[in-house]
Structures are given as C-alpha cells and as structure tokens.
Structure 1
Amino acid sequence: MDIGNAIKTCRIRRGYSQTKLAELAECSVSYLSLIEHNQRDITLSTLQKICHALHVPIGILLFLGTSHDEFGEMSKELEAELAKSTLVLLSAPANEQNN
C-alpha cells in the first residue's frame, strides 16, 4: 500500500501545494511531506481530513494507493482502466464536481 503516493497524486491533480493541503487538512507541511514519502504512518482521522480537503472519498484514495500485487486476480487491463478513469475524475477542480 502506497497511500503517500496516492495523496501526492490527488494533491497534484487538484493543483494544491503541500502548504495548501496541509492548511486545509489542519496538519503541518512537514507531517504531510513525511506521509507523502511514506516515512510516517497516517492516522484515520488525518486521512479523513486529507480526503475531505481533496474532495476524494477514502475508497478512491485507498484504490490509488493499492500496489499491483495487491489486486490479486484482477486483470491488468481492468486495473489500468479503473486507475485512468479515477485520475480523469480527479483532474477536474473540486468545485466543478459538486455542481
């Protein structure tokens, strides 16, 4: 599981700096950086705050953080299509998705 990379990917897709996301998620920039580099474990409450700030359901973030070997019997093609569709959705600004 690479939840740090998933957070970073979503943050970049949203156009947020680490400073902006840390502010919205009510955590320090240094802690967010450590999470993104998988150098600190993330608490559920912090994960919820980050997901809320990114306007991303926790399930999507967990999917994006799942490594290839964790998908088991899922075909590589389906895995790629799901990831591609998810990233397309994340490319839209968060306020546009609420309309």
Structure 2
Amino acid sequence: MDIGNAIKTCRIRRGLSQTKLAELSECSVSYLSLIEHNQRDITVSTLQRICHALHVPMGILLFLGSSQDEFGNISKELEAELAKNTLVLLSEPVQDKTE
C-alpha cells in the first residue's frame, strides 16, 4: 500500500500545495510530507480529514494507493483503466455543494 503517493497524486491533481492541504486537513506540513513519503503511518481520522480536504472518497484514495498484488484477480489492464479514469475525474473542478 502506497497511500502517501496516492495522497500526493490527488493533492497535485487538485492543485493544492502541501501547505494548503495541511491547513485544510488540520495537520502540520512536516507531518503531511512524512505521510506523502511513506515515512509515517497515517491514522484513520487524519486520512478522513485529508480525503475531505481533497474532496476524494476514502475508497478512491485507498484504490489509488493499492499495489497490484492487493487487487487479487483483477487484470492489469482493468486496474490501469480504472486508475486512469479516476485521475481524470480528479482533474475536474470540485463542485460547490451550495449550488
């Protein structure tokens, strides 16, 4: 599981700096950096705050952080297509829920 890289990928796709994501998820920039480099384990509550700040469901983040051996019988082609489509969706602007 490479959850740190998944967070970094989503952060970049959303156009957020580490500083802004740390602020939105109520953690320090240094802690976020350590998470993104997989040098610190992340708590579920911190993961929830990061997902909320990124506007990304936790399941999507976990999917993006999964390795091939964690997918079981899913083909590499299907995995790649799912990841590609997910990243395209992450590139779209976040919808304002007040509209």
Smaller-chain TM-score bracket: over 0.9
Note the C-alpha offset of 1:95: 3.1
**1:7 Cα offset (Å):** 0.2
Correspondence 1:31 to 2:26: no
Describe the SS at the equivalent of 1:38: coil
Deviation, structure 1 residue 94: 1.6
TM-score, normalised with respect to structure 1: 0.94
Structure 2: gaps spanning 5 or more residues:
none
* TM-score computed with the length of structure 2 as normaliser: 0.94
One-letter amino acid matched to 2:4: G
2:66 partner amino acid:
T
Relative to its length, the structure with more helix (as a share) is 1
The CA distance in 1 between the partners of 2:87 and 2:72, in whole Å, is 21
| Structure 2 match to 1:64 | 64
Report the AA paired with residue 4 of structure 1. G
2:9 counterpart residue number? 9
- Percent identity over the alignment is 84
Q: Which amino acid aligns with 2:45?
A: S
Counterpart of 1:61, as a letter, is L
Q: Please provide the CA RMSD for this pair.
A: 1.2
In structure 2, C-alpha distance between the alignment counterparts of 1:42 and 1:33, rounded to whole Å: 11
> Partner residue of 1:50?
50
**Residue of structure 2 equivalent to 1:74:** 74
Is 1:87 equivalent to 2:87 in the alignment? yes
Q: Distance in 1 between matches of 2:25 and 2:78?
A: 32
Report how many aligned residue pairs link the two structures: 98
Note the residue ranges of structure 1 that are not aligned, 5 or more in a row. none
